[in-house]
């Protein structure tokens, strides 16, 4: 019997995925692109993709499209460390690529939180096994960041630099995570569609004396990232600890 066309397409895409031509989390071409490549209707393409989804090889998300299935990058937010450290512990090669390094007038919210009008602003892309998984912008008061170089912040985390170079011990952080849609710039940096789901994490880090010394914004593709919190014991409410409504 002749193999149905959708089955032929599913087999070809399955081979591409298993030959590591596409890695976990990477977006697949659109259904329209596959339709043109294979010379079939989008209905046939959709049937092939749905078969791969049923096999657990790919997944889909509204506003994002089809992508290679895989375990999301996990970050625990119970401890004061970086996602790179946690990825390294799980065997993932984590890198950072600095896009901008400049001393600038602080955005209003940053100035309010850190109490300074001038900031070292570092914008970078974080990579996991060579693939972008986060856009990060870090602000540090100019008086603290004046002795840091572009190479410093590309090779080492701010946490390491504060301890080893600035001799400022860090004692804690406040982290807020919300859902958003990818801007055009973040979509280009992260390789996702514009307005696709992203997680936005704002972190304010404090020195040992309780002063805020760092502020950062992290933007993660929603399909690639999961944040975990260990709850030591069950509380009276079923609402997750720390969850609150915002205006």
What's the whole-model pTM score? 0.77
pLDDT digits (tens, 9 = 90+) for 115-149: 988 999 999 999 888 888 899 999 999 999 999 99
pLDDT digits (tens, 9 = 90+) for 2-34: 888 999 999 999 888 887 655 677 888 889 999
In this prediction, residues 228-234 reach a mean pLDDT of: 66
pLDDT score for 224:
80
Given 29, 53, 68, the domain boundary residue is 68
- Above 80 in pLDDT, residue 237? no
Q: Which of 29, 217, 26 is CA-nearest to residue 133? A: 26
In this prediction, residues 145-160 reach a mean pLDDT of: 91
pLDDT score for 62:
78
CATH of the domain at 153: 3.40.1410.10
Q: Which residue has the higher pLDDT, 78 or 218?
A: 218
Q: Say if 153 falls within a structural domain.
A: yes
CATH of the domain at 21: 1.10.10.10
Residues 191 and 117 in one domain: yes
């Amino acid at each position: 019997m002749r193999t149905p066309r959708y089955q032929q397409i599913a087999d070809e895409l399955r081979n591409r995925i298993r030959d590591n031509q596409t890695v976990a989390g990477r977006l697949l071409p659109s259904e329209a692109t596959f339709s043109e490549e294979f010379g079939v209707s989008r209905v046939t393409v959709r049937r092939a993709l749905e078969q791969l989804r049923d096999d657990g090889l790919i997944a889909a998300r509204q506003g994002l499209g089809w992508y290679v299935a895989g375990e999301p990058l996990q970050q625990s937010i119970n401890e004061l460390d970086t996602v790179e450290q946690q990825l390294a512990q799980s065997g993932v090669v984590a890198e950072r690529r600095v896009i901008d390094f400049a001393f600038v007038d602080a955005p209003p919210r940053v100035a309010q939180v850190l109490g300074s009008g001038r900031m070292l602003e570092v914008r970078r892309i974080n990579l996991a096994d060579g693939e972008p998984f986060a856009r990060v912008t870090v602000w540090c008061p100019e008086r603290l960041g004046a002795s840091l170089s572009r190479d410093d912040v590309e090779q080492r985390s701010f946490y390491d630099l504060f301890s080893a170079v600035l001799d400022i011990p860090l004692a804690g952080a406040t982290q807020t995570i919300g859902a958003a849609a990818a801007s055009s710039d973040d979509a280009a940096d992260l390789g996702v569609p514009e307005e696709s789901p992203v997680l936005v994490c704002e972190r304010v880090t404090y020195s040992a004396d309780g002063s805020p010394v760092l502020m950062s914004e992290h933007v993660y593709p929603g399909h690639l990232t999961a944040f975990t919190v260990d709850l030591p014991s069950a509380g009276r409410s079923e609402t997750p600890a720390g969850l609150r409504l915002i205006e």
